[in-house]
Structure formats: C-alpha cells, structure tokens
Amino acid sequence: MNVVSLFANIGIGEAYLDSLGFSVVVANELEPKRADIYKQIYPNTEMICGDITDKKVYSSIVKAASKHKIDVLMATPPCQGMSTAGKQDKYDQRNGLFLHAVDLIKDLKPDYFIFENVPGFMTTSIIYNGQPRLIPEILKDLLKTTYSMSFNIVDTQDYGVPQSRTRMILLGTRRRVAHKWVMPDKETKVNTLEDAIGHLPIVDPYIYDISEEEMYKFFPKYKEREEAALKISPWHIPPRHILRQVITMQHTPTGCSAFDNEIYKPRKKNGEIVRGFHNTYSRQRWDTPAYTIAMSNNQISTQNSVHPGRYIGKDANGDDIYSDPRVFTIYELMRIMSIPDNWAIPTTVSKQYLRHIIGEGVPSLLISKLFSQIRNV
C-alpha cells in the first residue's frame, strides 16, 4: 500500500511502515535540513521540500503522488499553535495548515487518511469563512460526504510505547471502502522504563566545568563505561553536565525530585537554591512508562529528562548515592520513543538537533500499531 506523508519531519512515525508492507512514496517537509535527513533515512521516498501553502510546492506533491495509486495519506501538522501551554490564537496561521492536507485528500482520493496531533486539536478554533470554527467541525463539513471519521484521544502507553504521551488521532476511511480504519484494542501489558532501558549498563555523564583529570577521579570508570555505551549505539553518548548538578542528582533517589533532598538541593553558582517545577531536577521511575519526553531534554533542569538511576552505595560522607546522574542519552530517548534500534539516522546529525526532533515526534510503535489495522486490506 502506498502512503503520502505530510509535515514529515525526519520520518520518526514511518520507521516501521516498510516492514508492514507500506511504501511511503512521497513525503513533504518544510525545513530543508529535516528534509535532507529524511532523504538519507528513506532514499526510496520522493521528498518534496517546501511550504505546502505554496502553490508550486503543492502542485509538485500532487504530481509526484499521481505516479502511484495512493492508499493512505498521513499528516502531522505543526501543533505549537494548539498547545495548551500556548495562546491557542485562532489567528495563528499554523493552525490552518491541516486545510492543505484536506485539499490533498480531495485531490488524491486515498482510501484512508490519518491526522496525528496534540489533544488541543479538538478544541482549537480558526477563522474559517470569516467565522471562528472548531477544527473538527470544519473537517466534518469538508469530508463527511466521502469519508467516515473517528476522532480519538489516546495515551501511547496503551499501545506498547514505554512512554505516557497523550495524542489526538483522527482516522478516516473512504465511505465506499468496506474495511473501516479503527483504533486497535488497548494492550493489557504496559511497557515500563525498566522494559525499555533497564538492561543498559551505567553511563557516567561528562562533567565539562572541571578538568578531565578531576573528572576521572570523580568517575574512575568513565572511559570504560563510555566505550561500552558506544559499542551499543553511536547515539549512546554520555551527556554533558556541570559538576554541581551532577552531585545533586547523584544524591537524588530513583523517582524523586532533588528539591526534596535535605542537603543536596539544586543550587545556583552562588549557592542560592534554585526555584523550579517539581518535574525538573527529577529522576524518572523504573516501574512505570516514562513521562512525556519534551523537545528540550538535554539539561538536568528540563522536565522529565533525568535517568532513574540505581542505588550504588555511599559516598565519603556516608550519604546514599545513585548511578547515572544525567539526562537520558539519545539512544535511550529513541527506545523510549519506540524507535527501532536499527533506524539509520546519519551520524552527521547534531546531537542537540536530534534531541529536539525526537522530543516533538510521534512514537514509531504507535503509528505501526495503527497501520497494522489496515495492512493487507
């Protein structure tokens, strides 16, 4: 079955589709850097790089897709304008990008389509024909005669992903098609962080505000552990942190916030206690799915970014200490996002850029479970 992917980013959602018998024949991405990475990962896909609102770009997508019978259209429009943390401005032009996906559905007439977005998609209004209208109402008006649709709010942990991440999934089926696209049943087993990364050995962070000689005294096994990590994956790279934050997290138990520490609280350079939210400077838990991974995930002070760690003994002062006082490595983030280990990300991609992209992606396994519902139809 042939797929068109819109707002494709670098194709995290598409990671399992080939193994299911789906071919992403055409993809569209606005940013050239992301489009280039996509092309390296998926060399057989015709990537149309550019703004879908540009008539020439839109026509190029239609022309490329028209070489094939398109069975599925997948769209993940930008969600920043729909975020509950944002203004939800009905005049934000990004919120109207889904209309161009609707135009393509009408032009290409796929049997199925899927939109993936934040839950705010359901409650966001845009100015349409001069009036504020909810996005779901507009979609129903434009497509209800030719497609049946189901709007779903899902938590990715219910579908095998070792991460709790709430998303909106819209599934559309052409009315003449007998087999309707519906959500798969929720899974009874929940995959935890232990399931995803619990087998991996300790990785010490690189402490960049002291000399390497001092760092090797602080972490005597740093080089040995770094070499072992890089044998697992070139993306299992020790994160870089400053000493005082490492010490703080070294004394923070699994599943706890450093703000609750009696002595080793998060502090500024001048010794003043940092003010912050409880999900910052906070270790995740082993026995649950990971909390939602955000786009900013490279610092101990960012939300839900710190490795759970394990109790490893006591320091020279007799205080309990825990392993892995650091944020997740990129490889660990990939596993939390259910990206396959053999996914061919070019090693030339910058670490910070990749962290950001992973944090805004859709878990690969969720898309795989959804597409499994219509394979071999």
Per the structure block, which two tokens stand in for 66? 């028209």
79 as an active site residue: the answer is yes
**Residue 156 DSSP code:** G
Cα–Cα distance for residue pair 142/84, rounded to 1 Å: 26
The SS3 call for residue 320 is strand
Long-range contacts of 84-88 (CB under 8 A, 24+ apart): 84/118, 84/119, 84/120, 88/120, 88/123, 88/124
Cα–Cα distance for residue pair 241/202, rounded to 1 Å: 16
Burial class (CB in 10 A: 0-12, 13-18, 19+), 131: exposed
**Torsion angle of alpha carbons 153, 256, 334, 226, nearest 10°?**
180
Contact 72, 374 (CB under 8 A): yes
Task: List the catalytic residue out of 24, 48, 65, 79.
Answer: 79
Active site residues: 79
